[in-house]
Amino acid sequence: MKTWLITGASSGLGLIMARKLLARGDRVVSCGRRVAPFEALQQMAGDRLRIASFDLTDTEALRREVDAAFSAFGRIDTVVSNAGYGLFGAAEELSDAQIERQIATNLTASIQLVRAVLPHLRAQGGGRIMQVSSEGGQVAYPNFSLYHATKWGIEGFLEAVAQEVAPFAIDVVIAEPGPTATGFGGALDHASPLAVYDMTPAGEVRRAIASGAFEIKGDAERTVDAMIQVADSEQPRLRIALGSTAFENIHRALASRQDDLLAQKALTLSGDRT
């Protein structure tokens, strides 16, 4: 029996993961602002489920709940940082408040979660952190600039942290699902559109999402199954792309960046001191 802590567990991938883990007999700390989605799970799991209801952007509350979770269960094997949402709109269209909330929820809260759990993971002799990022941590779409800023940001943060904590038997996995049927699109925070962007790539993406033409191939249940499989494995890779869309888009983006780097090698090397 393993013990997991999952943020953003009241909906989407987090809720599915909590349900699957409890069904196989594991223990779960489910973190979310809404308690109602956990009620059926509580009836099934009893004291194997601990519910922590708080706003993840409240750092003091986050630290208290993390401390309480480790104290209650004694050991947490895997911490799954899953909380987040999408902010939709061209960069010029976004309000200051929308920008601040997106960064606070997707980036700062994820950073603070990692900082809160690391002392406990070190003290227990190791553990695993799984960050639910997105293909959007490696590629970018118009109208998701701030969402991408948070995902690219948390991936860079965790790539550094993974090197820092490896000596303590703590490893890190960054999960990068492609577009997946989770309700993510319905929960987007939309900026007020500016007509000037109607005939631009931003306008094209806006129309594709509004019309349903934006293709979503990812299956939520299968995506979670893959995430659990990776989290259970002995030596997982740092990054795992999930779904054909993620694989194709990330592969294309990495190949393009490599081509750009190689094409300017002479100019790049000219920056060295002679």
Copy the structure tokens of residue 244. 């054909």
The verdict on whether 147 is a catalytic residue reads yes
The verdict on whether 133 is a catalytic residue reads yes
Phi/psi for 31 (5° steps) reads -110, 130
Phi-psi category of 230—alpha, beta or left, where left has phi over 0 and alpha has psi -120 to 50? Answer: alpha
Given the residues 85, 141, 147, 197, the one annotated as active site: 147
Given the residues 30, 134, 151, 197, the one annotated as active site: 151
DSSP 136-156: GGT---TT-HHHHHHHHHHHH
Please tell me the distance from the alpha carbon of residue 261 to that of residue 77, in angstroms, as a whole number: 39
Given the residues 11, 81, 110, 133, the one annotated as active site: 133
The verdict on whether 10 is a catalytic residue reads yes
The answer to whether 227 and 17 are in contact (CB under 8 A) is yes
The verdict on whether 151 is a catalytic residue reads yes
The answer to whether 13 and 182 are in contact (CB under 8 A) is yes
Q: How far is CA 158 from the centre of its chain?
A: 11
User: Which residues are known catalytic residues?
Assistant: 10, 133, 147, 151
